[in-house]
Amino acid sequence: MSADIKGDNQPYDDINITPMLDLAYVLLVTFIILTTASVQGVRVQSPQTKHISNLAKPQTRAVTITADGTIYLDAYPVSADQLLVSLGQYKAANPNLPVVLKGDAATQYDKVIEVLNVLKKLDITEVGLVTKRAQ
């Protein structure tokens, strides 16, 4: 019996790295989740409304108009012509393409109408306007 106990106390020739790999995988997954959780976009001050609707759909495209009149498709600045071409490509892939229009409260109304005319040319009927909830 004493021989068995002595045999168990032999020094190891290699290091068991399995627990260290488990920790590395957990940290990697946590890092991936945290870095992809942030939403890219352009910050604008949205007007307020009392009615709330949920427009979260998988292929929703966001068109943003800043206070100075710059138009963004998702997070990329575009002109009205580029917006027409890009949304036309998305519309070809998804005939029921939903679009969310985010405009700054200080945006000139003609820029909003310009974007709505582009959406009308492409026959995009699922359009949502983003507002903030009134306090």
> Which amino acid type is present at position 54?
N
> What are the residue ranges spanned by the domains of the chain?
57-133
Class of domain 57-133: alpha beta
pLDDT surpasses 80 at 3: no
pLDDT surpasses 70 at 43: yes
Phi, psi angles (nearest 5°) of residue 111: -70, -40
So what's the pLDDT on residue 132? 78
Tokens at 132, concatenated:
């903030």
pLDDT surpasses 80 at 13: no
Q: How far is the C-alpha of 39 from the C-alpha of 31, rounded, in Å?
A: 15
pLDDT surpasses 80 at 102: yes
Predicted confidence (pLDDT) per residue in 50-99, tens digit: 655 554 445 788 898 988 889 999 888 999 899 999 999 988 888 888 89
